Structure 1
């Protein structure tokens, strides 16, 4: 009897030729995307591939991950370091912009590469992994900086680390008396949920408070596999938060945002931040004006539980911090406040 055909294991797509073969882009687009690949990393995991609706040229999942030749156009307002990481790096791998918290970037690799990423010029498959000596120096910095109460593991994606290396970092940070909180930012639970295994859960086990910010921008990203990964994290003692970016064509309607935030809550992920787009090179096609973002959130106030309400923020350059963008429902008039009711639009005077 002939041998049974072997099924090819789904793989992460990492170059334009693979995208063409998978039917995610046309053959005619390949040459342009090869030029994009010279500047910016690309990766689309099997989980994400399965979510893409190939019949929809404006599919909100594909828009986030499939490269586009427009990425080669840089506007004067775009910056290679829009959040000003570099000026606030006391040692390699650490960013200290806020008095009471600091970032630890142990690597610069991700399971997927978002086409709007504000670190898109430095992240990539080579990993940017800190050496043992560099990691020790970064961890020593946290131990020697008593004003810092929270360590935020980001990158890159910290859940792309081996469980051994992740455990080492969590243990070192947990031993620092003045650190109260360890926070991680990750796409892994939705983009590569198979990585959330017993070893990763064990690595995150500590007596400190552990928070995981799950980056997701569309309700469809919460697959059954993602739900299982998130449940394992919760049962492992990790508190889950959600952070998203307001993106043109992805979630720029009140209905899409409502679905995203409600879906997060059903998985016990508390919406935390909705980010205004950071103006990294080649990302202009994703930008939603702030006025439009405020209108969208205003539509949701009152029809969406406060549990699902994130803070809409703009990360300012030069270390100025994250500024809340509203929307506002109150304005001062003489010695009183005029407050608009979110449910019916009526104005109420609140004063002495």
Structure 2
């Protein structure tokens, strides 16, 4: 056996170890988007397993954002007073290699049974401070339109709810699921339904994905974008500009750019906060305000999301401010509201 064959066998063995720890699935739609001749293909990097996932660091966690500590009943995460996550399922059509819930999702992971779903909806109904329910998982749009319609109708019957939010990758990873039945299910109640689309690279917006997004927006469902800052995928001003321009051109407003969570085996994707802030500075002033998401850190341990973008204004002892413009020049500002 030659060195090349041994290396190949070692790589295959490593990938088998990755698959034994973390779920792997790539839809036929995504498989068709991968360029096998490009070793830096941004689609492949997001979805194909990598031996680097076997490397874990002391600071990485099995539950990096503290879901479990804020789960009063199965399927509910209640971290903020006015909103809850409702995790219908723990499976997805694809498994992102950087997923912060990678320890909890995958084949064999159980979704909510009938009694558990009843208990979860009852919890929401018994807490009038809850104004927003966020369907997540797993990916909630992997369920059938019939089941999704049932859940949305039951949530619509809770008077104090104002908004139902859906977090999904489906429109860009399995766009055929966004058919007339799915759209009808999303519109089956009177409460506002918003969809947060997870996409990380402009190449995800192929014609089939664009058509799925158009179907949602034309049906009156507002679509926001959320992305994860990923080394080797979108860690340059050009890549982020292309991504956010593509979103906005397809009527998707960039909402969040997430700093990478401390999930096990994901260090090869993670940038420093300083690198992320510098990238956000490069966007400000060079691209439309429509393209500016909030750069967000989900504080490890379940302490919530906070903006961590660069600061442009610093106070001075005399009550005035030093303000930086988008091109890095400093300016003096006398605050007229200060006596």
Smaller-chain TM-score bracket: over 0.9
Q: 1:134 aligns with which of 106, 116, 124?
A: 116
Distance of 1:127 and 1:232 partners within structure 2: 31
Shift in Å, 1:338: 1.1
Match of 1:232, SS state, is helix
Whether the aligned pair in 2 keeps the contact of 1:217 and 1:250 (CA below 8 Å) is yes
The question of whether the paired residues in 1 share the 8 Å contact of 2:262 and 2:300 is answered with: no
Does 1:279 pair with 2:298? Answer: no
The match for 1:221 is: 204
SS of 1:331's partner is: strand
Residue-by-residue CA offset, 1:248-285 (whole Å, 9 max, x unaligned)? 00000011001111100011001010000001000000
Partner deviation per Cα, 1:155-199 (whole Å, 9 max, x = no partner): 000000011110011001111111100000000000000000111
Unaligned ranges ≥5, structure 2: 1-6
Alignment of 1:135-174 (within 5 A): 135-174=117-156
Deviates more, 1:52-61 or 1:141-150: 52-61
Paired residues in the alignment total 328
Pairwise CA RMSD: 1.4
Structure 2 residue 35 is the aligned partner of structure 1 residue 53: yes
Where does residue 38 of structure 1 map in the other structure?
Answer: 20
Indicate yes or no: 2:252 matched with 1:269.
yes
Aligned residue number for residue 349 of structure 1: 333
* Partner residue, 1:85: 67
Distance in 1 of aligned mates of 2:77 and 2:155: 16
Is 1:121 the counterpart of 2:110 in the alignment?
Answer: no
Query: Unaligned stretches of 5+ in structure 1?
Result: 1-24
Corresponding residue for residue 5 of structure 1: none
> Map of 1:222-261 to 2, 5 A cutoff?
222-261=205-244
Residue 280 of structure 1 aligns to a residue whose secondary structure is coil
Q: Secondary structure in 1 aligned to 2:32?
A: helix
Give me the whole-angstrom Cα distance separating, in 1, the residues matched to 2:330 and 2:33: 42
**2: CA distance between counterparts of 1:346 and 1:333?**
13
- Is the Cα–Cα contact under 8 Å of residues 42 and 232 in structure 2 kept in the other structure? yes
TM-score (norm 1): 0.91
Relative to structure 1, the CA distance from residue 48 to residue 350 in structure 2 (aligned partners, 3 Å threshold; closer, same or farther) is: farther
Distance 2:182 2:334 in 1: 51
Q: By how many angstroms is 1:344 displaced? A: 6.3
